[in-house]
Structure 1
């Protein structure tokens, strides 16, 4: 595919956002000495450098996004939330919500991350591009309408979905394969029949008791939420089975006008924030499948946005795997693949398949059309649990 049809959005200031020193996501305090965070965003600069050095970035039109406006942010967030993020960042440091630490540059970086996703989504809807990738931070899928959460300040793809709907994409599918459940996206669209949210995540990781199979939407949006909580230790076999047996059939039933992908990379086998076994080949395969599906269902309109990913050494290769698939290229060489691809957990296990089978038999998008039955919808509380990690 020519560069004129592929868009790449990034901004240097997004790499300046830094949640500060600590241990994992815990800030410096009693018993916690200063330590390099897992979520240090300059690692994305290295990832972009690898994509450029490989020649793959030449396949894209590289664009610099403008910051999201208040009008954009208020499509999803309440004014008080925006004010808290701006105030915490202006102070130079602080927690803008729950595990949502910021520095002086964070508010600007967050607006640029949203702005990139909005520009990408509206760009493909209006036909300027077929596909787009947004290499941005901070991430977004945990941010709720009224609070920042777990490294996420604004909900990048939720705002992008609303912006795309204003430009004519009535039905939007959001696929989220970040290792954590995207409680913020789910809460935003839980009662919206025109946005299908599909989350493939590690069961019970974060937020606690969030992303259960019984959470399927409510009211007019009943059936428009689809959670796939895979057991810890799931690898390529489980993820590709989910794509084939859950994601693709759900998309075909829903028939979206636009597909957005929360393309987190923290389900990799080297990531410190999850316990999954995905490789760069896994992400390449999932990305390729979604591009093919978009070609069939949406006229090619699809946007990928970076979410989580905390392995300083493996993240660049994972970004490259995603980028090559968007560009329609074969999977790249992966010097880390040998340590993961032959593990027994890479094959679909019986306890993992039970989750898939349950959804095939009970979720309304997959079974309801033929069986006439639907699972009991579970209301999502206004404030999701904040216990656990991002």
Structure 2
């Protein structure tokens, strides 16, 4: 079977309108492309373009999917929020939540993004593809049930999970989020649940600054089913592989899910403007290999990835290409234009040794 790649041109047409990010426009501040929204279409469009250019697209099961239905969305989001989002979308666009602007038709584009994630997970669980990648845009991991934030308008992964649970396709789901920012929305939606394990590996105190503590383990019946792994700035290739092998993967193995979902952000890469980490395309490739090996061991290889952040238009395409090479087993490569020197240097860097100490402390606290 092939690796499924779920995408739709319409998601590249989501825009932030006249939005200036964190910087006031005027004076010496020149207005920015895409209204100043760092979450631009180019990193995703260029990722697919690179796949087309190398020929990797031809080895994947490329497909679109229907929009997530109102029934799908209502399993996660309250009706009042959806109605207001739709009203603004139909009347020219606007902004809901913190840093969540959108233009006309933004509701439908967000529903398309969630629909891609839903279809990708369904295809994996039904066995019609080997594994699947959803090029979802706008992203979703910061969006809680009723509070969009951080460019995330709908909770793509939770919408996909709830549809799969409702359809009897799965009973236990593990979500591993390696975006550089804390997956606070996904965490909040499942914080008191025992059927969904949520793990977030992120840069400490990046965004949101008041969430993502190691001590936040869930509440009520869900206590112990959420795990945050905050890392100090500068963590790179060796540190990410270490934290995967020593903390994240053992937790997923103990949970024994029916499927593993990765919230696949590429903003932990070394030149991302919204992160301060030093991962490379090879880092993401090897983390993908680690997760695939675990999925083969515990859930018959069932793995789905949903695209989240990643803001370097130049480097995201190479990170994504590496992930999909690994998922598909393709021999087609896109040589990393800048990663090799960093991978070679990182293990001896003093700040990497410091992060290894942080990892050891977390392992001790978890009894690993």
Indicate if the aligned counterparts of 1:21 and 1:35 stay in contact, CA closer than 8 A: no
Aligned to 1:106: 106
2:47 aligned with 1:47: yes
Query: 1:31–1:66: structure 2 CA closer, same or farther, 3 Å change rule?
Result: farther
What do residues 18-65 of structure 1 show as CA deviations (whole Å, max 9, x unaligned)? 123555455747875411232111431221010121121222111111
Shift in Å, 1:328: 2.0
Q: Please name the residue that 1:352 is paired with.
A: 355
Match of 1:92, SS state, is coil
8 A Cα contact 1:51 1:323, kept in partner: no
Structure 1, 225-234 or 33-42: larger mean CA deviation: 33-42
* Length, aligned pairs only: 362
SS in 1 for 2:343: coil
Q: Give the 3 Å change call, closer, same or farther, for CA 244–195 of structure 1 in structure 2.
A: same
Supply the distance in 1 between the matched residues of 2:288 and 2:65 (Cα, whole angstroms).
23
Long gaps (5+) in structure 1: 368-390
Residue 130 of structure 1 deviates from its aligned partner by 2.5
CA distances 1:174-225 after superposition (whole Å, capped 9, x unpaired): 0000000011000001110111100000000011121100001111111100
Matched, 1:141 2:141: yes
Q: CA deviation at 1:315?
A: 1.3
Which SS does the other structure have where 2:262 is aligned?
A: strand
Cα distance change on mapping 1:30 and 1:182 into 2, 3 Å: farther
* Aligned CA distance change for structure 1 residues 28 and 108 (closer, same or farther; 3 Å): farther
So what's the TM-score if we normalise by structure 1?
0.88
Q: Distance in 2 between matches of 1:30 and 1:81?
A: 36
* Aligned match for 2:336, one of 334, 337, 350: 334
Change in Cα spacing, 1:29 to 1:156, as seen in structure 2 (3 Å) is farther
Using the alignment, how far apart are the partners of 1:110 and 1:245 within structure 2?
36
Separation of aligned partners in 1, 2:160 and 2:22? 27
Q: What is residue 277 of structure 1 aligned with on the other side?
A: 278
1:309-388 correspondence to structure 2 within 5 Å = 309-329=310-330, 332-338=334-340, 340-344=342-346, 349-363=352-366, 367=368
1:20 and 1:207 map into 2 onto residues whose CA distance is 23
Which residue is 2:5 aligned to?
Answer: 8
Distance 1:70 1:127 in 2: 26
CA offsets per residue over residues 326-370 of structure 1, 9 Å max, x none? 11246641112246334447857232123322221223xx54xxx
RMSD over aligned CA atoms reads 1.9
Unpaired runs of at least 5, structure 2:
none
Shift in alpha-carbon separation, 1:296–1:26, aligned structure 2, 3 A: farther
Q: Residue 169 and residue 31 in structure 1: after superposition, are their counterparts in 2 closer, same or farther (change >3 A)?
A: farther
Contact 1:287 1:322 in 2 (8 A): yes
Larger mean CA deviation between 293-302 and 28-37 belongs to: 28-37
> Is the partner of 2:304 in helix, strand or coil?
strand
Q: Does 1:165 align with 2:168?
A: no
Query: Within the alignment, does 1:35 sit opposite 2:36 as a pair?
Result: no
Separation in structure 2 between the aligned mates of residue 181 and residue 136 of structure 1, nearest angstrom: 18
Per-residue CA deviation, residues 76-109 of structure 1 (Å, 9 max, x unaligned), is 1111221232223223232121110101132111
The aligned counterpart of 2:289 is 288
The aligned residue for residue 202 of structure 1 is 203
Q: Summarize deviations over 1:150-176 as a string: whole Å, max 9, x none.
A: 100001001111112223311100000
Query: In 2, distance between residues paired with 1:290 and 1:329?
Result: 17
Does the CA contact (< 8 Å) of 1:22 and 1:32 recur in 2? no
For 1:180-259, list aligned pairs within 5 A.
180-259=181-260
Match of 1:388 in 2: none
1:78-117 superposed matches below 5 A:
78-117=78-117
2:132 paired residue number? 132
| Alpha-carbon displacement from aligned partner over 1:230-254 (angstroms, at most 9, x marks no partner) | 0001001110001100111111110
**Residues 93 and 105 in structure 2, CA contact (< 8 A), matched pair in contact too:** no
Whole-Å separation in 2 of the counterparts to 1:227 and 1:285? 21
Change in Cα spacing, 1:334 to 1:222, as seen in structure 2 (3 Å) is same
